[in-house]
């Protein structure tokens, strides 16, 4: 993406931002029927909000700083509307959890899970999410984890709605052991799965790497 385009997708909001500026950003990035819900969440408990460049290690982030009354939430700019919404509610649930319990509870413990489910409930409808996402999302929300990427069916359903998705790519976790693939112009063979990561061997060097099972790779026929 060109620098100018990336900068145009970067927004910085704080508690004194105008309502219109905040709402316009949500209208750009969220499903239409979820805009009001998310806007009211911000009005209810204001926070600094940033839409950032793509980060490979995370989709969003909640930054709790004890010495600040206004906390910060960031979300990657390149998420499709459904992933953006889920990520936004995930991070706002962190804010609500910390405001209620402070740092005395686990980041993704039962308190956060309850907050996340409560925030998701008003938009858990076919008016907001396609049925293809709603079904695996419902299963995931019974016991949400730290990342949606931990749920294979949910992340596959969400990625199917990426506007720039390359149909020739598949998830590494969907390859069989022993099959070869290309990632970042390098050839690997899948060796074995280890929870969320996969042990892979580079061809022909023989070097071994742990690669995320959610990595999209080009299979070699």
**What are the boundaries of each domain within the chain?**
3-159, 170-219
The number of beta carbons lying within 10 Å of the beta carbon of residue 176 is 7
Q: CB 111: neighbour CB atoms within 10 A? A: 18
Coil vs helix vs strand at 80: coil
Q: What is the pTM (predicted TM-score) of this model?
A: 0.79
Which uninterrupted H or E stretch holds 36? helix 35-44
Give the pLDDT confidence score for residue 18 in this predicted structure: 65
Beta strands in the chain (DSSP E): 11-13, 48-52, 60-63, 72-76, 170-171, 180-183, 186-194, 197-203, 208-212, 216-219
CA 128, 130, 133, 136 dihedral sign is positive
d(CA 51, CA 72): 11
Size (the chain), residues: 221
Sign for the pseudo-dihedral over CA of 140, 143, 146, 150: negative
Bridge partners (DSSP) listed for residue 182: 187, 218
Written as tens digits, the pLDDT of the chain (221 aa) is 445 544 445 444 444 446 888 888 899 999 999 999 999 999 999 898 899 898 877 889 998 777 777 889 999 999 999 999 999 999 999 999 999 998 889 999 999 999 999 999 999 999 999 999 999 999 999 999 888 777 888 988 998 898 877 878 888 988 999 999 999 999 999 999 887 789 999 999 999 999 988 888 999 98
CATH topology of domain 170-219: SH3 type barrels. (2.30.30)
Q: How is the beta sheet containing 11-13 ordered, strand by strand? A: 11-13, 48-52, 72-76, 60-63
- pLDDT number for residue 12: 45
Distance (Å, rounded) from C-alpha 215 to C-alpha 221?
18
What string of DSSP letters covers 153-188?
Answer: HHHHHHHTT-TT--TT-EEGGGSPTT-EEEETTEEE
**Beta carbons of 200 and 211 less than 8 angstroms apart:** yes
């Amino acid at each position: 993406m060109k620098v100018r385009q990336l900068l145009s997708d970067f927004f910085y909001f704080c508690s004194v931002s105008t309502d219109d500026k905040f709402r316009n950003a949500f209208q750009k990035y969220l499903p239409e029927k979820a805009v009001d819900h998310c806007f009211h969440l911000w009005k209810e408990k204001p926070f600094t909000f940033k839409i950032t460049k793509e980060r490979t290690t995370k989709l969003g982030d909640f930054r709790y700083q004890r010495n600040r009354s206004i906390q910060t939430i960031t979300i990657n700019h390149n998420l499709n509307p459904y992933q953006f919404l889920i990520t936004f509610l995930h991070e706002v649930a962190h804010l609500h959890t910390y405001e209620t319990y402070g740092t005395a509870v686990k980041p993704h413990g039962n308190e956060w899970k309850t907050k996340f489910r409560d925030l998701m409930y008003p938009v858990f409808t076919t008016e907001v999410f396609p049925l293809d996402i709603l079904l695996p999302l419902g299963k995931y929300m019974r016991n949400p984890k730290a990342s949606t990427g931990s749920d294979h069916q949910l992340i596959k359903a969400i990625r199917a709605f990426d506007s720039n998705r390359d149909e020739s790519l598949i998830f590494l976790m969907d390859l069989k052991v022993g099959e070869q693939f290309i990632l970042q112009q390098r050839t690997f063979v899948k060796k074995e799965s280890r929870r969320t990561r996969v042990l892979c061997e580079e061809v022909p060097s023989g070097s071994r790497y742990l690669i995320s099972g959610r990595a999209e790779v080009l299979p070699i026929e």
